[in-house]
Amino acid sequence: MVDIKILRLLIIDDSPDDADVTIATLRKAGYMLKSQRVQDMASLQTALAQGQWDLILSEYNIAHFGAQFALDLIKGSDLDTPFIVHTKKISDADLVQIMRNGARDVVLKAQSARLAPAIQRELRAHRDREIFRKQQYILKETEDKHRAIIEGSREAVCYAHEGMHIDANAAYLELFGYESTEELEGIPVLNLIKKDDHQRFKEFMRKKAKNSAADLNSEFEAVKKDDASIFIDINILDINHKGEDCTQIIFTDITKRKAVEKKLQYLNQRDPLTGLYNRHFFLQKLGAAVEKAKAGSNQSTLLFLDLSQLKKINENAGHAAGDRLLLLLAKLFREKLGDQAVISRFSGDEFAVLLPDQGEKQAKKTAAGLETTLKDTTFTESGHVFKCSCILGKVLVDENAENARQVLSQAYKSCAVSKPVEALDAKMAVAPTGSSPQTRTGIKEAAETSIDAEWQHKIQQALQSDGLELAFQPIINLHGDPADYFEVLVRMSDGAGGLIPAGEFMATANATGQILDIDKWVISHAIPALAELHQEAHAATFFINISKQSMADSSVPKLIHQAIKKAGIDGYHLIFEADEPDLTSDPVASGNFIRTIHDYGCQFCMDNFGQGFGDHHFLRHQAIEYVKITGSLIHNLTNDKVNQAVLQGLTKVANALGKKIIAKFVEDAESLSLLWDLEISYVQGNYFQQAEAEMSFESDDETSETTLSSEESAPTWANN
């Protein structure tokens, strides 16, 4: 029996006696009844309006009324109450008609034993229908929520059946440039994938269907309605959509990320001025060539060129002229050596060329032709004519090669044979010729004991004779910001054509107070250099280091203000930076300096953020736009869980304070991946580009030799 406490029963019958018999029969069957009898339409309407009924029993034949009228009234009231005809007699035709109209059963009063089981069945069926309707409602509600989420999602989502579009959300239509889902219906999803990726896409979908695509690359190049290309990452799921088994495909637009990756790859491989390969990438290629030769494959040849005229041109005509010479030579090397040659700017005035699969005879001919071309090429600047002569060394990379370092050493020696003797003496002399080991040891000890005095003298000479040079290292935005950011660094000439990094002399400069003069020199040269870039339509931004001494000296802000006014630039493109310990050790002086340079429109960056982890009072209360994470946290980041945890904490603090975060000293791809996950916006380090004396920018003039975009090797992002 149905588990029900009280059966609310409405009886439609003009015979009270028959109604009483029905009630007695049901009570005998175990039902507790709450019943009412009606016999005309008016009383039925009243009963339906005033109560909720579990079941309706109706006599078929009632004068001027009957079961058919009652059933029509109940159906018109949109009620799902079980309706059973309980009658003395009924014809077969009427029975068929009433059942078709919606009666759940017909039970003759002479067969009252059938009544209780019929009622029990219909009550269960009614309960099942109620449960079904509730589940339908829940399902619809869930589907509506799912639809709202999908429609409001930034992710592009489509639904496909047997590879054909059947539905898509607004983000998907926007991504691919379609107006409505009707446009997509009947179009294969494959049509939106670039033809070169068709086979790989089919393989991915096939293996994904078998849950075996975990190790497959899910990134593809796609095609929009207007044939423009975009890069996407996809994820698929088999679902039921609108009652139909289909595949849900989520498309994530990774075009910006791919552009950043491409830019980072370019910066990691190329010299920013010439577009030639840099030292880091060239050494990889050379190492691969050595291994290939040792394995008995074809020989290669290494050419090493020392540009003997560059220092003279820089001194007499300026660094801009030297840059133009480098670009001229880069173009000449490409034209002369061809696409197979791996050409690099190995250092400031040195080039290295790998000639793959060229043996000694062929390489000798190539080198001779290059030497002849260089001798015949001249460079005119400011009325002066310079020869493009280079000192060239040549080394065969064969099975006898040990490694890349050994091959390079041979190339250096090969170049040294061709260099003037006096130049070699100037670089190689350490102790007087013929001195005894004891004498040379004494010289070394004397040098060590007077190192500070020597550095002080060298710094003073550099300041007086313009022996300092600016170097620039790019700061890269990982999220596609097209603006160009550079940190301005300082180098000292070693007197023999080389440059000494700041790390070797800054400790002495700090100790002697010469750091103040170095800061002023950098400010006086960096701001005009920035103005020149802006005049050439390169809206770069410079990060300029400032010392504790300079922040406490009132003449420095005045110098900055005068330089900005004279250069006619917007101070917004100047960001001064100082170490966190220097800022917090004298908060009054540093706070005054920060407020003053903000009055000039400049911005400020806290360097080495994290050295004072746990105390952010200064950062919280000063107008500091950027923070650079201390390099000690980035070193060995991938293997140091403590550094990762500290870095995550610092990132949360900086983000909470609204600061833009820069990670410096990034040296490998693994660290970059972790920094990306931490949502750090800016990165800097030798993984992207070492500090160089030159910067390069794209130009609208395709014939200009001073831009990367005019070179064949320039990447597509250089034109964005």
Which residues belong to the active site? 349
Buried b (16+ CB within 10 A) or exposed e, 304-324: bbbbbbbbebbeebebebbbb
Residues sharing a CB contact under 8 Å with residue 389, sequence separation 6 or more, in sequence order? 308, 309, 374, 375
Q: Give the integer Cα–Cα distance in Å for 529 and 466.
A: 16
How distant, in Å, are the alpha carbons of 231, 645, 646, 687 from that of 672?
Answer: 21, 16, 16, 9
577 pairs with which residues across the strands? 545, 605
Dihedral (Cα; 422, 425, 427, 431), 10-degree rounding: -150
Q: Give the integer Cα–Cα distance in Å for 630 and 609.
A: 5
DSSP assignment, residue 716?
G
Contact 56, 82 (CB under 8 A): yes
How distant, in Å, are the alpha carbons of 91, 299, 718 from that of 62?
Answer: 15, 111, 92
Q: Give the integer Cα–Cα distance in Å for 574 and 563.
A: 11
Q: Give the integer Cα–Cα distance in Å for 354 and 283.
A: 10
Which two structure tokens, joined as six digits, stand for 585? 């050790």
Q: Give the integer Cα–Cα distance in Å for 329 and 323.
A: 10
Concatenate the DSSP letters of all residues of 2-66 into one string. Answer: ---S-EEEEEE-S-HHHHHHHHHHHHHTT--EEEEEE-SHHHHHHHHHH---SEEEE-S--TT--
Give the residue carrying structure tokens 């620039």. 472
Residues sharing a CB contact under 8 Å with residue 607, sequence separation 6 or more, in sequence order? 545, 577, 578, 579, 580, 628
